[in-house]
Amino acid sequence: PTRRSSDLLQGDADAAEALFVDSLGRFRALAGSEATVPTPTSIAEMPASIRGAPGLRIVFEDTLQPFADVSCDAASGYVLLNLANVARTRGMPDRARQMLDEALVLFERTGNERGRADAWGRLANLAREEDRLEEARESFAESLELRRRLGDRRGEALALVGLGLVAINGGDYGRAESLLDEAVTVFRRAGDRWGLVAALWR
């Protein structure tokens, strides 16, 4: 996972995709087995839409669960999330959506609610990038509900930030301020300084 993530963070999409595909094949070969593995790192990228700063990228790990073990089936879903991000980086939203949909189905079949929350969040971000705001709002709401049910405070706050960004894109600044204020409160309680700074910046 470290090598795959490193390639993606350095902008080498070809190398990252090749390694993710290899990883996916290995996990799929173990589908249905009783083997478990540590949750693969889930890397996300947010293109920052700032005027005068074309191409600015903010890359981060959107899950922090280094000690959680998952089945190889669920691990395949996390690899698909990362492959979808490579597709987004390459400007291939349809391919990204196909992989995210596939990951969501896989997480639903294996009963992995954390994976479902992550997949809904990625689908929401993809929809927001394409200005499909109602779809983005509904997907972020799905992610928020799951993360609250799981007690995932960082994930909850990230979903709130996403909803806030959808409100900003839609011109509903009062709603956006309320959602971002709520995210700030959750990040503070969780002691997540990175998330707090990101929410305050928004």
Share of the chain above pLDDT 70, in %: 81
3-state secondary structure of 10: coil
Summarised one tens digit per residue, pLDDT across range 106-134 is 999 888 898 999 999 999 999 998 999 99
Alpha-carbon span 156 to 51, nearest angstrom: 28
DSSP, residue by residue, 87-125: HHHTT-HHHHHHHHHHHHHHHHHHT-HHHHHHHHHHHHH
Lowest mean pLDDT: which of 34-48, 53-67, 86-100, 160-174? 53-67
Please name the residues in contact with 177: beta carbons below 8 A apart, sequence gap of 6 or more.
164
d(CA 30, CA 32): 6
Cα–Cα–Cα angle for 175, 153, 134, rounded to 5 degrees: 35
Tell me the whole-structure pTM to 2 decimals. Answer: 0.82
In this prediction, residue 71 has a pLDDT band, given cuts at 50, 70 and 90, of confident
Q: Is the pLDDT of residue 61 over 50?
A: no
- By the 10 Å C-beta count (0-12 exposed, 13-18 middle, 19+ buried), 170 is classed as middle
pLDDT of 60 strictly over 50? no
